[in-house]
Amino acid sequence: MAQKRKQKVSPILILGVLFVALFAFSANSFADENAAKEAFNKGIEYKQAGDKVGALASFKLCVKEDPNYAKAYNQMGSIYFADKKYDEALSNFKLATEKDATNVEAFSNLGKVQYKLKKYAEAEQSFKSSIALKEDAGTYKELGKVYYKKKNYKEVIAAFMKSHELGGGDHITHYMLGKAYQKSSKMAEAIKALKKSASIKPNYYLAHSTLGQIYLSQEKYKSAASAYKKAMKSKSKRKYKAAYNYAIAIETSDPENYSANIANWKKFVKMAKGNPNAKSDVSVAEGHITDLEEALEKAKLQ
């Protein structure tokens, strides 16, 4: 019985089928990329117009079309971050860094949300990753804030100095730099940084108050009084503390000027009266005022 001959498939036919399949795959991939890009651009338009709902819907469509579209995850993270939805922001910023390990902004944003969530070790690594890709004054500032929270004052100084070197810096970075120097017992550098902070924001309570603390510890009472007087002009709810320390500085430098000292302590009492946090200090001050008034009367009789 004769055997059936096997039918040979033409190599040309095979190549043709593969070409058609490859073309179809490429066309579909190209269509997905275009759809993703179109959705992303639409999301940017919505975001710029203030339509967060529309923006999120568009960015979600973008990553549905292209799950590796890192910029879309970053944009969604920024929207959630602005709305203080930190867990959602964290998830999207992480995805952005995983999809694109060269995305500088995504690493920086990831560090910011980790900082908000008090994940300081993770924030440190994220900011370092961002800086490794591109040095930036703002990122060094954020890294300095992380070190400040961790009380790594040597690193605080290095980070803020680098931020300032790159053209960054504001009243907060100079204040934190001053505090780091103070904690490191470098008072001359601390004073310089705090003065810079106060020059940028003249009524910044923390800068003036910290200067007062340093001068008071150095027994430079007139300088301390000057710093505390400036702190008293701020809008801070804690400025009553500056009034308390101002009265101490003035009285220590001139203890027999009873009239001035009485007036200063009365000013403190007026500022702090009714504040539950100052109840004890007010009580002490009122008793001290009585003592000063008695001393003033005795001085007049002499």
Length of the chain equals 302
Q: What is the pLDDT of residue 40?
A: 96
Count other Cβ atoms within 10 Å, centred on residue 33.
13
Mean pLDDT of 1-18: 46
Q: Tens digit of pLDDT for each residue in 107-134?
A: 999 999 999 999 999 999 999 999 999 9
Q: CA 222: distance to chain centroid?
A: 34
Instruction: Please give the mean pLDDT across all residues of the chain.
Output: 91
Closest CA to 77 of 126, 148, 121: 126
Q: What is the pLDDT of residue 10?
A: 53
Q: pLDDT band at residue 58, thresholds of 50, 70 and 90?
A: very high
Closest CA to 111 of 139, 133, 80: 139
The interaxial angle of helices 205-217 and 187-200, nearest 10 deg, is 150
Q: Tens digit of pLDDT for each residue in 218-269?
A: 999 999 999 999 999 999 999 999 999 999 999 999 999 999 999 999 999 9
Is the pLDDT at 4 greater than 80? The verdict is: no
Domain map (residue ranges) of the chain = 204-302
Count other Cβ atoms within 10 Å, centred on residue 259.
11
Q: Tens digit of pLDDT for each residue in 76-106?
A: 999 999 999 999 999 999 999 999 999 999 9
By 3-state DSSP, what share of the chain in percent is helix, strand and coil, each rounded to 5? 80, 0, 20
Entry pTM: 0.83
Closest CA to 214 of 239, 237, 183, 243: 183
CATH architecture of 204-302: Alpha Horseshoe (1.25)
Is the distance from CB of 240 to CB of 278 less than 8 angstroms?
yes
Instruction: Give 202-219 as a 3 state SS string.
Output: CCCHHHHHHHHHHHHHCC
Give the C-alpha separation, 298 to 302, whole Å.
Answer: 7
For residue 286, give every residue at least 6 positions away whose Cβ sits within 8 Å of its Cβ, in sequence order, or none.
269
For residue 183, give every residue at least 6 positions away whose Cβ sits within 8 Å of its Cβ, in sequence order, or none.
151, 153
